[in-house]
Amino acid sequence: MITIDMDTVESERDFFVGGDNYEYGRVHAQTIAEAIGEEGKILIHHNVGQNSQEERARGFMDEIKNYPDIEVVQAVAGQTTV
């Protein structure tokens, strides 16, 4: 089995084709920080149980710590329903 772009830890896939979701989160944080002039308040939302989003959120939160004038006022963990 091959998964493309999205993956879950439980997939038991043989091969994954996609990017580094942690790095995507870091880039998102850098882009947002630049867009708001490296200061302000933000909220982050991601879906619990979706590995790709959890990795992006982790990368985002790790990177945003490099911007002391940006405050994450709330981190909201949602749930995707199918």
Decide: helix, strand or coil at residue 11. helix
**Tens of pLDDT, residue by residue, the chain (82 residues):** 666 666 666 777 777 777 888 999 999 999 999 999 999 999 998 888 778 888 999 999 999 999 999 999 998 887 765 5
Decide: helix, strand or coil at residue 3. strand
8 A C-beta contact, residue 18 and residue 4: yes
Q: Residues for the chain: how many in total?
A: 82
What would the two tokens of residue 51 be?
């590995």
Please give the full DSSP string across 49-79, using - where no structure is assigned: T-HHHHHHHHHHHHHHTT-TTEEEEEEEEE-
- Structural domains in the chain, sorted by start: 20-78 (3.40.50.2300)
